[in-house]
Amino acid sequence: MALSNDRIEISPAQEASVPVEPTTLVIFGGSGDLAKRRLIPALYNLLLDGLMPSNYVVLGLGRRPMSDEEFRATLRDGVVKHSRQALIDETWNAFANHLFYMAGENDDPTTYVRLKARAEELERTFQLPGNRIFYLSIPPSSFTPVCEGLSSSGVAIKDNGHAPYARIIVEKPVGRDLTSAQAINTVTGRVFDESQIFRIDHYLGKETVQNLMVVRFANSIFEPIWNHKYIDHVQITVSEAEGVGSRSSYYEEAGALRDMVQNHMLQLLCLVAMEPPYSLDPDVVRNAKMEVLRCLRPIIGKDVEKFTVRAQYTEGTAHGEPMPGYRREKGVDPTSTTETYVAVKCFVENWRWSGVPFYLRTGKALPLRASEIAVQFKDIPQILFNANGQSPQAPNVLTLRIQPEEGLSLRIVSRVPGTRAQTHPVEMNFKYGEVFGRPSPEAYERLLLDVMVGDASRFMRRDAVEASWAWITQILEGWQQSGQRWLPEYQAGTWGPVEADRLIQNDGRSWRTL
């Protein structure tokens, strides 16, 4: 059952409410996969949608020697393969004239002397005002020499309240525990003011994630019942169908808790649980999310075993293809205790959410790639249409689908046509692609545009990064103290270990079927 059959056509240009100033974007790691697959296709789509600034330069910096022409050819291939909109030769040729490349080592001071000279040369050629954005698509171990090089060479300066501006985008992971996160924040904070630092989490740029605030605060039917009196529990699922593949070296150091829960899933939880902000000012919104992190009940001591489950996938079949067990993946320690699956039961201890459990689960080698937030409301009283205790009525559930099909659905109970009084749950379904007539912008499109206009509301502030790591680090320390040498296992292509089922079944609930 659809919410509406009306199709709404919206021009992309309607989205641009703030003028985008001309700028120079420097991508550290410019020859890498992220630039080719995500960043340049995102900029190209912004250009097609009329959202790029009137003038700009993109300068990639990488270790591999490459000419400007070779750089452009590589990026063109990335746009052909990964852009949501088809490549148009005329538009691409105009776009490519703004793409440049230079080779250099991140830890070589001379790199930044050459970078300053190249940036100034390009800014003179294109008559740019000197606004600069630095995208750190590099390992966190390189953050210190890059920030120090930008500062010592004068390529970037701390915000003084006057034009031109300098901004830095930091890719996750921002650390691997509280101590390392604090170290990274200290390094970036020495060179840049907090208002100049944009810690990117691509999940926060997804359409459905952005719509969550609108659903809550633009519809009077939800906010009055968005509390412990009416909501039974919340499930947040991020399911990945692939194994670790070529990311084994990174994954061995990270694991599912660091890779997905610390950033993506806690941010989704914050959007579900936050109090209504009094405005859409970036710091007002981020203050509201920060309060949720402050209210998270610590999981320490015996609670680590009680409220968390970790596991590894074993040999199995996924999408008809055989998949080796995690410990047999290339680059993985055969005795590894790195988790590829994690489930957590947590509580937000404030007046609104008192006693309401939030169940989080994420894993590799699961049956499908999907992400969703499901808010399950409490059962109706056991009278009238719910009087049969042997066959209870299905509860109402509001589901926000983040991927693969962005949209939302509301499950309600309806009467089955006929002479008998029968009921059946039905779904009121909304899909972005069907209603608005065009694909949603990719997350990186929205986030890069936010940086260019200076809107930090969809980026994590330093205190939020450190608060989330403080909560996660307590779990990591609990796992380490347990001394487990073997983790529970689940077969590749299944929905996780039995221990995760018990985590929620012990409360009389069950995981949703995606």
Per-residue pLDDT reduced to its tens digit, 372-393: 999 999 987 666 666 676 666 7
Q: Where are the beta strands (DSSP E) in 455-509?
A: 489-491
Q: pLDDT digit string (tens) for 26-81?
A: 999 999 889 999 999 999 999 999 999 989 999 999 999 999 999 999 999 999 99
Q: What is the pLDDT of residue 14?
A: 47
pLDDT reading at 417 higher than 70: yes
Grouping H, G, I as helix, E, B as strand and the rest as coil, residue 349 is coil
pLDDT reading at 16 higher than 50: no
331 Cβ contact list (under 8 Å, min separation 6)? 248, 249, 252
Q: pLDDT digit string (tens) for 328-364?
A: 888 899 999 999 999 999 999 999 999 999 999 999 9
91 Cβ contact list (under 8 Å, min separation 6)? 44, 47, 48
Residues 27 and 43: beta-carbon distance below 8 Å: no
pLDDT reading at 12 higher than 60: no
Backbone angles phi, psi at 400, to 5 degrees: -110, 115
Listed residue (360, 364, 346, 344) closest to 489, CA to CA: 364
Catalytic residues: 264
Taking phi first (over 0 means left), then psi (-120 to 50 degrees means alpha), and beta for anything else, what does residue 417 get?
Answer: beta
What residues pair up with 399 in beta bridges, in sequence order?
Answer: 374, 409
- What's the maximum distance between 2 C-alpha atoms anywhere in the chain? 83
Listed residue (168, 226, 284, 207) closest to 441, CA to CA: 207
Listed residue (453, 464, 448) closest to 134, CA to CA: 448
Residues 235 and 377: beta-carbon distance below 8 Å: no
Mean pLDDT for the chain? 88
Q: Taking CA 183 as the corner, what is the angle to CA 181 and CA 184, rounded to the nearest 5 degrees?
A: 65
Listed residue (418, 426, 377, 420) closest to 398, CA to CA: 377
DSSP 30-87: TTSHHIIIIIHHHHHHHHHTT-S-SSEEEEEEESS---HHHHHHHHHHHHHHH-SS--
Q: pLDDT digit string (tens) for 175-222?
A: 888 998 999 899 899 889 999 999 988 888 887 788 888 889 999 999
Give the least confident one: 101-105, 325-329, 438-442, 445-449.
Answer: 438-442
The residue assigned the tokens 């998270």 is 296
Helix axes 89-96, 40-48, angle to 10 degrees: 120
| The token pair that represents 75 in the structure block | 């990026």
First to last CA, the chain: 18
Grouping H, G, I as helix, E, B as strand and the rest as coil, residue 370 is strand
Query: Does the reported pTM lie above 0.95?
Result: no
| The token pair that represents 358 in the structure block | 């939030």
Average pLDDT over residues 449-478: 93
